[in-house]
């Protein structure tokens, strides 16, 4: 391992950064993170990083505005300490759901965030399952866009067994669902939603789930509305065991309680986002630390 490999972490997900350091057998870079009395973020790099290729890990979730700005300030501090390159590892890149102008007067925050990260000075980005692959194109720097479907399938396989179907909970998740159906060698079904009026949405299933175990994949679970309504529909249509699998578990508000009360038997997610409250046994979190460590090594090798 090249001695100059250094990983720093913002305050959003220290646990994951420490796990990555464990995988790489390195110490976490020393940073002092604080707030000035007026609430502004204060950062100081506490070691010599001159000429180093540095990595900084921060997820933009939970308190997205604070964590994004904290990340920008850390990048600035590292640049001013004469690093050779800065790779941002952003396991969950918040603001990416707004990636097109779908109605008048709205911003494209995914592009804005790409611009501010580039302006702050990142030279590379490592991230997981962006809401839409096209968002990669908003960056003019190299993007290592990692996917978690294989990792999630490895855990789902023994829960759903042989006679099963992968069910895309909406049209937007067909690509992920197809990918997982291919990995698991199963059939595919799709839930079609139709808005009837401003309050009601009708849902129908294209495909068959009767007497099958089902796997419902998505890129993220926020309020859990999408997964819960998909699972409940599958149950009504005669599905047996229902397993959901998502890369990013945001779990906003009472999402965990809603999952517990729904037809979902198990939910598999990753640790791209720090969940600072306990999760029930029905929610299994799989670590992405090994994938991050691999991506860092590859990045380092390509820079030598």
Residues carrying an active site annotation: 193
User: Is residue 110 close enough to count as binding ligand R5P by CB under 6 A?
Assistant: no
**Contact call for residue 129 and ligand R5P (CB under 6 A):** no
Verify binding: residue 253, ligand R5P, rule CB under 6 A. Answer: no
- Residue 173 sits at φ, ψ, to 5 deg, of -105, 15
- Stretch touching ligand R5P by CB under 6 A, among 70-78, 187-195, 221-229, 235-243: 221-229
Could you say which of 41, 59, 173, 262 contacts ligand R5P (CB under 6 A)? 173
- Residues 190 and 167 sit within 8 Å (Cβ to Cβ): yes
Residues 221, 263: contact at Cβ < 8 Å? no
**195-223 burial code (b ≥16 CB/10 A, e <16):** eeeeeeeeeebebebeebbbbbbbbbbbe
Site for ligand R5P contains 213 (CB under 6 A): no
User: Cα separation of 265 and 88, whole Å?
Assistant: 35
Q: Does 98 bind ligand R5P (CB under 6 A)?
A: no
Q: How far is the CB of 298 from ligand R5P (least distance, A)?
A: 28
Q: Is residue 245 at the binding interface for ligand R5P, with CB under 6 A as the rule? A: no
Binding flag, residue 219, ligand R5P (CB under 6 A): yes
Nearer to ligand R5P, 70 or 218 (CB): 218
Residue 220 interacting with ligand R5P (CB under 6 A):
yes
How many residues of this chain interact with ligand R5P, rule: CB under 6 A?
11
- Binding region for ligand R5P (CB under 6 A): 172-173, 218-226
């Amino acid at each position: 391992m090249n001695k100059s490999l250094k990983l720093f972490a913002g305050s959003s997900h220290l646990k994951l950064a420490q796990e990555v350091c464990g995988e790489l057998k390195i110490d976490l870079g020393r940073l002092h993170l604080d707030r000035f009395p007026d609430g502004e973020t204060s950062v100081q790099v506490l070691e010599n990083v001159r000429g180093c290729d540095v990595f900084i890990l921060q997820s933009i979730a939970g308190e997205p505005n604070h964590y994004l700005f904290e990340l920008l300030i850390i990048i600035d501090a590292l640049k001013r300490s004469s690093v050779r390159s800065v790779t941002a590892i952003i396991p969950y890149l918040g603001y990416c759901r707004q990636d097109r102008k779908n109605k008048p007067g709205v911003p494209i925050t995914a592009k804005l965030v790409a611009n501010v990260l580039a302006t702050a000075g990142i030279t590379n980005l490592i991230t997981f399952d962006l809401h839409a692959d096209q968002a990669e194109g908003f960056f003019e720097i190299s993007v290592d866009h990692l996917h978690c479907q294989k990792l999630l399938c490895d855990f789902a396989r023994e829960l759903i067994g042989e006679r099963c179907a992968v069910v895309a909970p909406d049209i937007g998740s067909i690509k992920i669902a197809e990918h997982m159906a291919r990995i698991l060698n199963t059939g595919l079904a799709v839930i079609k939603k139709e808005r009837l009026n401003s309050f009601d949405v009708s849902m129908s299933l294209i495909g068959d789930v009767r007497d099958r175990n089902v796997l419902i994949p998505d890129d993220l679970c926020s309020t859990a509305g999408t997964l819960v309504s998909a699972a409940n529909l599958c149950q009504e249509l005669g599905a047996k065991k229902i397993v959901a699998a998502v890369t990013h578990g945001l779990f906003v508000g009472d999402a965990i309680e809603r999952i517990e009360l729904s037809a979902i038997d198990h939910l598999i997610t990753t640790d791209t986002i720090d969940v600072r409250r306990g999760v029930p046994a029905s929610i299994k979190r799989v670590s992405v630390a090994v994938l991050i460590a691999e991506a860092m090594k590859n990045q380092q090798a390509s820079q030598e």
